[in-house]
């Protein structure tokens, strides 16, 4: 006779074995298709959580600035007393000098002179001061720095217009240094963000102060204002708007990146400066709104709000390649491009000894390439090659 207890144990062991035995499951193809994205999503979530954890550890582990270091930065960005009067005198003088240098460099189409104007320009300090005032929650200093930048900008625009009016001669065609600052894009905003972070870091960490010179060259503040003044004097309203938007994008980018860098570097006292300081959150929110307002025309306003980028180089390369591929024994002598009311007008001069390329075919291909209406005028210059060989 079998012991009931033994029988129960055998039954229980059988259940355990059955429970531990892997069950083969056939996965249908559609199940695999739905499982793969789920696995990828899980992996991406883990990566994001890991990165966020590292960032949070870095944020929690940062060391706030000492009071002496903080006061030193504040004294440089917000001078008081005699230093304040000297600051405003120096600011006005350098603002006028840098504007004059920028106007002369732009009209002369000299990159080196324009870079010199960037180095002399004093606008970077009040812009960085505005960023520091935002994250410290100082509304009066925010207003004072905003007014300083506004007055300095208006001074630069007026002076640039006066100098452009006084200088004799015609600016036709417009210099490349001018046109380069009339059609900003998101790359310009990215440069301003990086430069703003570098500028704020150079203020907080004095061993990195040498970076301020590179910041002044990387992000231009006075040259766009000089372009605004020149184009207003020339009644080129759309070009003036583009240059003004470039200036605003640079300022907004610097302020946002500098404010974030000041926070990360421990400029604000306390481990968690955003808690219990609604004015800081409010200031950062307004800066973010300003960035969105600037980004919209940069991304979607080209051709409507902003002028189109100068397509001369792009069109020249296309025409040269088209003529070379046609094997018509022709050579491109000159290409001139002008955009008028949304139509790209192209004047091409070709020297040809055989059958020249078809102007209709060239216009069709160019219109497809640019995705815009084009008008091509083709001037064909007959050429003849003569060869002589002389044996002494």
Output the tens digit of pLDDT for each of the chain's 392 residues: 445 444 444 444 444 444 444 444 444 444 544 555 554 456 567 666 655 555 455 455 556 667 787 888 888 888 877 667 788 888 999 999 999 999 999 998 888 899 888 888 888 889 999 998 888 888 888 899 999 999 999 999 999 999 999 987 666 678 888 888 887 888 888 888 888 888 888 887 766 666 666 666 667 889 999 999 999 998 888 889 889 989 998 999 999 988 888 888 777 776 566 666 676 777 777 777 887 887 777 766 554 445 556 677 788 888 888 888 776 667 888 888 877 766 788 888 888 766 777 888 888 888 888 777 888 888 887 766 667 778 77
Burial of residue 275 (CB within 10 Å: 0-12, 13-18, 19+) is: exposed
Is residue 123 a contact partner of residue 94, using CB atoms and an 8 Å limit?
no
Which three-class secondary structure state does DSSP give residue 306? strand
The residue count of the chain comes to 392
pLDDT at 299: 65
Residue 188 to residue 247: CA distance in whole angstroms = 10
Q: How many CB atoms lie within 10 A of CB 388?
A: 4
Q: What is the arrangement of strands in the sheet containing 330-340, beginning at the earlier edge strand?
A: 330-340, 343-352, 374-382
Residue 85 to residue 275: CA distance in whole angstroms = 36
Residue 326 to residue 357: CA distance in whole angstroms = 7
The packing angle between helices 211-218 and 186-204, to 10°, is: 160
CA-derived radius of gyration, the chain: 32
Among 313, 314, 269, smallest CA distance to 137 is for: 269
pLDDT at 20: 44
For the full predicted model, state whether its pTM sits above 0.75.
no
Identify the residue whose tokens are 């960023």: 131
pLDDT at 102: 93
CA distances from 5 to 9, 13, 19, 259 (A): 6, 12, 21, 76
Q: Where in the sequence of the chain do the CATH 3.30.300.20 domains occur?
A: 312-382
DSSP 388: -
Residue 212 to residue 149: CA distance in whole angstroms = 18
Class of domain 312-382: alpha beta
Is residue 105 a contact partner of residue 113, using CB atoms and an 8 Å limit?
yes
Looking at the DSSP assignment, which residues form a beta bridge with residue 351?
Answer: 331, 381
**Helix H segments across 205-311?**
211-218, 222-233, 237-264, 278-300
Is residue 190 a contact partner of residue 59, using CB atoms and an 8 Å limit?
no
Is residue 142 a contact partner of residue 126, using CB atoms and an 8 Å limit?
no
């Amino acid at each position: 006779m079998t012991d009931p207890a033994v029988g129960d144990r055998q039954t229980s062991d059988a259940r355990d074995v059955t429970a531990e035995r892997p069950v083969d499951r056939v996965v249908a193809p559609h199940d695999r298709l739905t499982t793969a994205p789920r696995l990828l999503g899980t992996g991406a979530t883990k990566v994001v959580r890991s990165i966020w954890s590292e960032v949070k550890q870095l944020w929690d582990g940062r060391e706030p600035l000492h009071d002496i270091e903080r006061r030193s930065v504040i004294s440089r960005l917000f001078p008081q007393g005699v230093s304040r009067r000297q600051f405003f005198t120096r600011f006005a003088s350098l603002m006028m000098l840098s504007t004059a240098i920028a106007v002369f460099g732009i009209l002369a189409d000299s990159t080196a002179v324009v870079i010199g104007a960037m180095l002399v320009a004093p606008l970077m300090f009040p812009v960085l001061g505005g960023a520091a005032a935002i994250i410290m929650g100082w509304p009066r200093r925010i207003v004072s720095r905003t007014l300083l930048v506004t007055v300095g900008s208006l001074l630069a625009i007026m002076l640039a217009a006066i100098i452009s009016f006084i200088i004799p001669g015609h600016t036709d065609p417009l210099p490349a240094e001018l046109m380069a600052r009339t059609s900003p894009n998101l790359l310009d905003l990215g440069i301003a963000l990086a430069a703003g972070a570098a500028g704020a870091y150079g203020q907080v960490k004095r061993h990195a102060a040498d970076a301020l010179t590179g910041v002044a060259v990387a992000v231009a503040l006075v040259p766009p204002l000089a372009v605004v003044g020149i184009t207003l004097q020339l009644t080129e309203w759309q070009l003036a708007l583009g240059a003004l938007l470039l200036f605003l994008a640079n300022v907004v980018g610097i302020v946002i990146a500098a404010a974030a860098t000041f926070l990360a570097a421990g400029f604000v006292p306390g481990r968690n400066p955003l808690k219990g300081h609604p004015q800081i959150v409010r200031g950062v929110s307004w800066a973010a709104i300003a960035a969105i307002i600037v980004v919209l025309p940069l991304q979607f306003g080209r051709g409507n709000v902003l002028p189109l980028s100068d397509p001369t180089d792009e069109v020249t390369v296309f025409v040269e390649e088209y003529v070379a591929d046609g094997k018509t024994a022709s050579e491109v002598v000159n290409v001139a491009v002008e955009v008028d009311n949304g139509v790209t007008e192209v004047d091409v001069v070709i020297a040809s000894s055989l059958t020249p390329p078809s102007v209709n075919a060239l216009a069709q291909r160019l219109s497809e390439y640019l995705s815009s209406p084009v008008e091509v005028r083709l001037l064909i210059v007959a050429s003849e090659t003569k060869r002589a060989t002389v044996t002494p």
